[in-house]
Amino acid sequence: MSLIRVLFLSLSFLLISNNWLRADPPEVISVNPKSYSTTGGEEITIFGSNFTGTTAVSIGPYTAASFNEVGDFAVTAILPAMVPGPYYVSVTTAEGTNSNSYNNQIMVEGNPYAYITANNTSEVYPIPVLSNLPETPISIGTSPERLAITPDGRFAYILDSGTNEVLVFDITSRTQVDSIPTGGTLPYAIAITPDGSTAYVVNQTSENITPIDIATNTAGTLIALPAGSIPTDISISTNGLTAYVVNSGLNSLSPITIPANTIGTAIPIGSSPWGIAVTPDGTTAYVSSMGSNTVIPLDLGTNTPGTPIAVGPSPRAIAIRSNNLTAYVLNSGDNTVTPIDITTNTAGSPTNAISSSEDMAISPILASFGMGYVTSPGSNEYLTLIISGNTLGDSRNLFPSNPFGVAFVPEPSPIAEFFATPASPGNATSFNAQGSLSPVGGFSNYAWDFGDGNTQNTTSSTINHVYNSSGPFNVILTVTTQFGTSNTVLFTGKTVSNDGQSFASVTKEVIIPPAPVPTVTNVNPNTGPTSGGTVITITGTNFYDVQSVTFGLSPAASYVVNSDTSITATTPAHVAGVVDVRVANLSGTSPITPNDNFIFNGNPPTVTNVNPNSGPTTGGGAVTLTGTNFTGATSVTFGANPALFVINNSTTITATAPAGSVGSVNVIVENADGPSAADPANLYTYTAVLPVVTSVSPNSGLTSGGEIVTISGSNFTGATSVFFGLNAAVFVVNNDNTITATAPLGSEGTVHVIVTNADGPSTPSVSDEYTYIALPTTPAVSSISPTSGTVNGGTAVSITGSNFTGATNVLFGMTPATSFIVEADNSISAIAPPGVPGTVTVFVVSPSGISSAGPNTSFTYFIPQPLPPSDFAGKAKRNKFATQTEYFNLLTWVPSPDPTVVSYEIYEFGTLIAVIPASGPTFFENHNLRKNRVYEYTLYSVNGSGIKSDPVFIVVTP
């Protein structure tokens, strides 16, 4: 650090001493490091230029705790505490402030949070969502209730019904920073506009709305509601232009135009409507109707209510998941939550019931898990709404706080960034996305679009890609975070969350440099007629961005680049002689070498007749060729296959047809001047010689296969496959008339054994039939009853299914049943063996195999509830002392006969007052009691797993 300081001070001195005057604002080239915690106190180093005379360093809306100007090219600063999210670092001098880019962007990382108010204890609880362990509450106001959080996640606006104020809570410092009188009475609901500029507060008993300017924390002019409205909730359209107030007393909604704050025509809806939420796409509002036990969708384009959706009794609070797929309504009549499919407007099954309910919020985190919180004042706890299972659980006790309102802090966006190290075509261009920043956890996926039609997904931040051509390519990187945050801002009428499809993208142009100059290492064939038309293959290197292929000075008639090492070209017409075949790309033209020579010949042969012009694929027949220029012929080919031949004279050749494949080929004669041209007159047609199967021995076997089978027939030489029906067999060709094959697996029934050679398959017939005989059938379990029992074993279980005859064992997981009886082919009675807590599969085993696991084959072991103690009794007693009398109750009981019991728990009026070991005394004295008072006691036995017995009760009277 001292070396950097000396260097920059020296540079600054030199610049000043040379009277280098400037009037440019600061420019930030980079910041280091790029990621920070929310607690502040960390040092950041800012590199750039024009930093002399720095007057301020800020991080988004925050001011640096302190800063130090190292020189004109560097500033260090100490960061303040901040909420999670991406921020731009700004340096200000008298000449201005730097512009923003990725170079001056940082990420503050932190856990997602929710906040729950407690109106009994005048507190607000921070709840870290990932651990779900409430942190130390913060005192605030007198009776804090519902709340809303600003879109930037910095402030919570909390309604205080005790003082008719809105309390401003700084989430960064976790302190109350302001209080705003509403001017109304009983503030009951609050919503913040999506741009974070204004909060709207519903005052229930004064029946008006308080608009609050968030920039100045000042209340505006009250907006009066119709008399008798009894407002209960408010939601704002996603475009921020309209607020909808629920008038429970008038069965209507009052639309308020923003920012004019004027009330429009009331919208009739429901019976005793209560809660409202807007879908993230802004098309629909969902309104709970307590009087009709329904939720009513409202088309916000036409303000027309849709068909009511039946939910639970007395629905109140309503929230919408940020994926725009599901709404959730809190039923206050039975304290359950009903999900509603927004795409079909149908209600799902409600959750389990809890003891009481007040408010609900849904987490903005979407990708890894779905959850929300429901407050339960009556039980002094909040519960997690587990969306995947539609259940309420994982309760957290906040006694005696009376938890009331709940809201989640919006999740900040990630940042996508990468740099590339370009390489020429055919070589690996490397990409590095380590500069991408995530606010919560890491990235689960990096999706690359390389701009050349190729894409790839990876969990690594680095990747290589090979381009096949040079030039600019627009490369797109999309990063996905582990917890579902993204740069898509979603609004549901009350809160903003960064969620949706959990991604952030960046597009950059990557320029791939040209490949090196090509080389030509081979030309095949390397001769052809002067008339052109010869198709040749050019082999070499660096055939990228090919611009031309030339034969001497003449361009190829046509060419196709097959790969970076191969080109197919057609020769042009050219005078006789030797030319160089050269390939040119963007970097230049291949150098001349002896390997690139092509010879244009003057008098190649011509073939005008082939007789006979057909024969079997096995070859061997004599063929007479007629034509010209045969003297000195060097080869005769039938297609690609060379033939033996004799030159009779300059116009006739006698050749022996080589073996070939079914179809027509050209017969080509070649001399020193080149090959004859392909022509319909020199076609030779190979006719098929198909295999014939005359017998199969043995002609039957098990469906499991494995039988050694001898196949007899003809034309087996060169056989390429043997099939038993549709199944391929392993085989050996013994000779042209016999094949030995191993029968493959098959299905019960008769199939044809088909032998195929290069000319095709044998024709099915009765002689090639092979019959598969079925294997014995394995057992199958369709259901068991009962489906659970204690870990002690001994549960009688009825197993229903098929193929049970001859069963040799019944398994519970991997443990044999204590005993079993095969009552019928479809029924078994078994005694469950001892097990451990959890679910296992019940299998039936027979000589034919073991049954498979299915949806109805599971058996669950559970730990049984212990037996309770007996003869629970109590007697009021007293101790007289010289100056006072002490009153106490003597409690006695007979121990539980259950050997698993490890302790006894005694409760007084529902509060635990003693835990007695099972090995301890069987009595308990409850001292320091009040005279003449009746006391109620409950006694439980508890086993080693913490499971309690049924309770026993007594009442002790004086």
- CATH code of 635's domain: 2.60.40.10
The tokens 């469950």 sit on which residue? 832
Residues 658 and 585 in one domain: no
Distances (CA, A) of 666 to 464, 633, 640, 642, 830: 47, 16, 9, 12, 77
* Spatial CB neighbours of 579, under 8 Å, sequence gap ≥ 6: 551, 552, 554, 597, 598, 600
Residues 707 and 668 in one domain: no
Residues 612 and 592 in one domain: no
* Spatial CB neighbours of 338, under 8 Å, sequence gap ≥ 6: 295, 311, 312, 315, 328, 329, 331, 347, 348, 349, 350, 351
Peptide bond into 268 cis (omega under 30): no
For the chain, the residue count is 958
Residues 617 and 680 in one domain: yes
Look at residues 745, 773, 801 and tell me which one is the last residue of a structural domain: 773
β 597-601/527-529 pair status: parallel
Measured CA to CA, the distance from residue 497 to residue 489 in angstroms comes to 6
Domain assignment of residue 368, yes or no? no
Residues 451 and 484 in one domain: yes
Residues 504 and 542 in one domain: no
Mean pLDDT of each 10-residue bin along the chain, 958 residues long: 42 42 83 89 95 95 94 95 88 95 86 91 92 93 95 93 97 95 97 95 98 97 97 95 97 97 96 95 95 97 97 95 86 95 95 92 65 91 84 86 91 83 94 84 86 94 94 91 56 58 75 94 91 93 95 96 96 92 95 94 88 91 94 94 95 94 92 85 91 95 90 93 96 95 93 92 95 83 94 94 90 95 94 94 90 92 91 89 84 92 93 92 88 90 91 89
Residues 665 and 698 in one domain: no
Domain count, the chain: 7
Closest residue by Cα to residue 624 from 611, 606, 605: 611
Closest residue by Cα to residue 523 from 462, 473, 481, 570: 570
CATH code of the domain covering residue 36: 2.60.40
Q: At 22, phi and psi to the nearest 5? A: -140, 160
Q: At 602, phi and psi to the nearest 5? A: -90, -40
Tell me how crowded residue 917 is: count the other CB atoms within 10 A of its CB. 10
Measured CA to CA, the distance from residue 249 to residue 207 in angstroms comes to 11
Measured CA to CA, the distance from residue 605 to residue 607 in angstroms comes to 7
Measured CA to CA, the distance from residue 445 to residue 459 in angstroms comes to 5
* 2 SS3 class: helix
Domain assignment of residue 822, yes or no? yes
Q: At 658, phi and psi to the nearest 5? A: -80, 170
Domain assignment of residue 193, yes or no? no
The three-point CA angle 602-607-609 to 5° equals 160
- DSSP letter string, 799-822: EEEE--TT--EEEETTEEPSEEEE
* Spatial CB neighbours of 17, under 8 Å, sequence gap ≥ 6: none
Structure tokens at 567: 């080109």
Domain membership of residue 538 as a residue range: 519-601
Helix boundaries (H) for 401-475: none
Residues 876 and 951 in one domain: yes
Q: Per-residue pLDDT tens for 304-361?
A: 999 999 999 999 999 998 777 899 999 999 999 999 999 999 999 999 989 999 999 9
Closest residue by Cα to residue 186 from 172, 170, 207: 207
- The predicted pLDDT at position 811 comes to 96
Domain assignment of residue 797, yes or no? yes
Look at residues 807, 837, 862 and tell me which one is the last residue of a structural domain: 862
Instruction: Record the pTM.
Output: 0.54
Residues 597 and 628 in one domain: no
Residues 506 and 426 in one domain: yes
Tell me how crowded residue 353 is: count the other CB atoms within 10 A of its CB. 14
Structure tokens at 20: 């280098």
First-to-final CA distance of the chain: 80
Tell me how crowded residue 737 is: count the other CB atoms within 10 A of its CB. 15
- The predicted pLDDT at position 781 comes to 95
Q: At 64, phi and psi to the nearest 5? A: -55, 140
Measured CA to CA, the distance from residue 857 to residue 878 in angstroms comes to 61
- The predicted pLDDT at position 622 comes to 95
Look at residues 108, 129, 151 and tell me which one is the last residue of a structural domain: 108
Domain assignment of residue 563, yes or no? yes
Tell me how crowded residue 14 is: count the other CB atoms within 10 A of its CB. 10
Domain assignment of residue 6, yes or no? no
Whether 574 and 532 have beta carbons less than 8 Å apart is answered as yes
The tokens 């009250």 sit on which residue? 222
Domain assignment of residue 246, yes or no? no
- The predicted pLDDT at position 497 comes to 55
The three-point CA angle 593-599-602 to 5° equals 160
- The predicted pLDDT at position 758 comes to 82
Measured CA to CA, the distance from residue 866 to residue 440 in angstroms comes to 45
The one-character DSSP state at 215 is T
Domain assignment of residue 196, yes or no? no
Radius of gyration of the chain (CA): 43
Let me know if 85 is exposed, middle or buried by CB neighbors in 10 A (0-12, 13-18, 19+).
buried
The one-character DSSP state at 53 is T
Share of the chain above pLDDT 70, in %: 94
